[in-house]
Each structure stands twice: as C-alpha cells, then as structure tokens.
A and B are shown apart, each in its own frame.
Chain A
Amino acid sequence: MSPRKAYESELAELDGLVAEMARKTSEGIEIAVKSFEELDLEQVDKVKRIDEELYSLNMEIEKRCLDVIALQSPVAKDLRAIGTYLKVITDFDRIGRYARDIAEVTAHAHAMAHFKPLVSIPHMAEMAERMVALSVKAFLERDTTLTKEVFELEDKVDSLYDEIFREVITYMMEDSKKIGLGINYTLVARYLERIADHACNISERVIYMVTGQRVIKE
C-alpha cells in the first residue's frame, strides 16, 4: 500500500481524464471523416461538440498537471507521465481541431456531389484514423510495440498526400468547375496529414513515458 494516497488518487484521476480525451479524439476523427465521405451534415455538429469537449479537457488536464507539479514534486515515471500528458493533450486538441476543420469542409461542400468516387482520401483517412487509434491504444495500454506501425504509416500518409495533391490539381486544371471542391479535397488531405503527424508525436511521447528514452521519428 502506497503511503501517498492523495497523490496516487490524483494521478489516477488525471490518467483517466487523459484517457477520456484520447478516446474522444479517436471518435472525433472517425465521425469527421465519415461526414466528409458521405457529405452528411448531421455528423458535423457532433464533431464540433467533441472539439469543444476536447478543448475543455485540455484546459482541465493542464491545470491539474500543474497542480501536481507544484504540490507533489513528481519524479521518475510520474514525472514522465505528467510531462507526457502536458504534451499529448495538445496533440489530442489539435487532432480534434482538424477533425472539426474536416467537418466544416463538409458543411461547405455538402451541396456539391463528389466529382469522382473517393478512393485516395478515404484510404488516407483510414490510415490517419488507424494511426490515431494505435497511438491512443499505445498510450492507454502503455504498449510501445504499437508505435512501430504508426511510424510506418506516417510515411505512407505523406506519400498519399503528395499523390492526392497532384491528382486534384490535374482535375482542377481540366475543369474550372471542379476548383471549389478540389480545394476542399486538398484541405481535407492536408488536415489528415497533420493528424497523422500528431499521431506520431503521441507515439513518440508514449515511448518516452514508458521507457524514459526519447525517440524522434526522422
């Protein structure tokens, strides 16, 4: 039995809040991508609500982390956990924001029809979603083995982003009516690429939290 009961319970609550934020982040990106694929306005509000919840959680967790640092002087794995929380909540918050941006693109684009069946964007979204899901799982389960796939997927996401960019430009050059939607495609692809980057950051932080080793993906 630990002699620091109040400290232990504060750390456990904090961990629970970060886990809640992680889950909400995964949920937000899933709904956002679906809303864009289906140009479904009903999902947009859900994503906005999740983004707002993520923002509140971000503020609450940051405050609690600073309280723990000020009052409990955490060291070793506790210190690494607090340091990791403070970093990953920004990543979660940013991912939530990009999910909202994707949903807002849906709001702009819903009156239009996709000018071709979407292939690359859903594929990219699937990879970005998986990266977030894996990073979140690695974080929740303190399992660094899951991060390997995250780093591998990031290279694929980057390549796919370049492909989508070139492809969309071709469509827009061929037909100026496609410029509006085309820009939206590149925006969504850009947001997904950023989401993938944040997923990588989370994975790097999980490795640090668990092992104390700082790993930076090239």
Chain B
Amino acid sequence: MAQKIETERLNAYFGAVHAVKDVDLGIPENKITAIIGPSGCGKSTLIRCFNRMHEVVHGARVTGKVMLDGKNIYDADMDPVLVRTKVGMVFQKPNPFPTMSIYDNVAAGLRLNGVKDWNRLDKTVEKSLKLAALWDEVKHQLDASGVSISGGQQQRLCIARALAVEPEALLLDEPCSALDPIATAKIEDLLFDLKNSYTIVIVTHNMQQAARIADYTAFMYMGELIEFGVTKTIFEAPDKELTEKYITGRFG
C-alpha cells in the first residue's frame, strides 16, 4: 500500500522535554489513520510534525525525517507554508476567524495565496463547503459571521477552510471532542467520504470513534509508537499488552 506520509526516526522536543521518540510510522494514502494514547503521550505533537506546525512553538525542534510522497518536508529547500498547504490541519476547538464571514473564512487561504478572481473564489468556497457537508446549511447566510453558527457547523467550516487550498492530507486533532453526538456523527460521515480523495490522520481520545472510522490505528505511549495496525486487529486482538491495557481501560 502506498504511504502518503512516512516518518523515519522522528523525534520532537519542547526545549528539554522529549515529546516524540524515534517514531517510524507510515500513513497509508487515502485511508483514515487514528492516533490514540493517553494525554501527554505525544500524539498531537506527532501530527504537528507532519506539517511543520511543531516548530512554530518557541523552543520546539524536530530531528529525523517526515517524508511526504517520498520527499522530506524538513529538507532545507522545503517551504513550510507550502507543506501546510499540502497537509491541512483542523484543531480540537473550532476556530473560525471570528471577524470574518463564513465565505471569507473559507476563502482566506486562497486570498493569502494571492487569488483575487471572484469567480474562482466563489467556486472554491461552494466546492469546499459542499465537501465539508455544510453548503446546504449555510448557503443562504454566507455573509454571516463564522462564529454565528453552531459548534459542529463551525468545525465543518474549519474543515472547509482547510480543504479550500486543496491539500493532499488532512490532520485532525480531536476534531469532535467539543461536539455533541449528532455533530460528531456528521464529522465522522464527512471524513468517511473525504478519505476517497484525501489521506486523513485523526488524533482522538474517543476509542469508539477510532474504531468506527479509522482504517488503521496507531497507539502511542510516553512519546513512543507502541503499536500500529489495521483498526479491527488493534481493537479485537492487539499484539502488545500495553495496547490491550489502554484500549480496555486498564491503565491505572
């Protein structure tokens, strides 16, 4: 199976804190990969290394490689902004730009890249909102503030914003933890549809969510990748005892 993102001896640090330790992981293309593990195990830090978001934190650094389609995104000639265009990110708390309308939120990335053609912007906004399964709910209020809609809609707006710049992979850091079950189900359905066109990595604390939507699951503990495999296998007969203890809730 083709790997969209591959890490080689990836280490991430916050100053002296060693947050991700020697991780070798392949993220399969056009699949959903879930990253699970207890709080502070390094899962968010790991995915933030996939689009060079980790390094924006003061004192943070990365060693090792993150290959995107075979090219190391940490090579000197790689532009981090371009990397983040190719690998989009959605965060735990829906964070539409509060002073912008729904339309402008989705168009923000393209405008930042210098696109001024209204026709192109209109088409992209509509396409992205449709991809994010939000178009029908907001098409008559595109001028309304990005934060005037519900939390679940805001999160889908953030997904639409990420999709507008046509990324190849999408990283989601606990995208449903602030949402109710209905909004969560909508995001899960959306991710299921999106995986045909995008490689998706989702960090989640919700084990059932990982089991429901992910094709592959990685379990991390104390900065290390403990186990990676087909989700069904991880949840039915995991290889490592530590994984078993975590997913059965026997960590104490």
The residues of A with any CB-CB pair to B shorter than 8 Å are 1-4, 7, 73-80, 211-213
Contacts and interface: CB of A to CB of B under 8 A. Distances in A.
Q: Mostly helix, strand, loop or mixed at chain A's interface?
A: loop
A4 B246 CA distance: 11
Given A79-B235, A80-B236, A212-B237, A73 B207 contact: yes
Interface in B213-250: 235-238, 243-244, 247-250
Nearest to B237: A212
A4 B248 CA distance: 9
A3 B247 contact: no
B220 to A, nearest CB: 17
A137 B235 CA distance: 27
A78 B236 contact: no
Interface of B: 207-208, 211, 235-238, 243-244, 247-252
Contacts, number: 41
A100 B208 CA distance: 43
A75 B252 contact: no
B30 to A, nearest CB: 26
Contacts of A77: 237, 244, 248
A79 B236 contact: yes
A63 to B, nearest CB: 22
Given A75-B211, A76-B238, A80-B237, 17 more contacts: A1-B252, A2-B249, A2-B250, A2-B252, A3-B249, A3-B251, A3-B252, A4-B248, A4-B249, A4-B250, A74-B248, A75-B247, A76-B235, A76-B237, A77-B244, A79-B235, A212-B236
Nearest to B247: A75
B251 A75 contact: no
A211 B236 CA distance: 10
A80 B248 CA distance: 12
Given A212-B236, A212-B237, A76 B251 contact: no
Contacts of A75: 207, 211, 235-236, 247-248
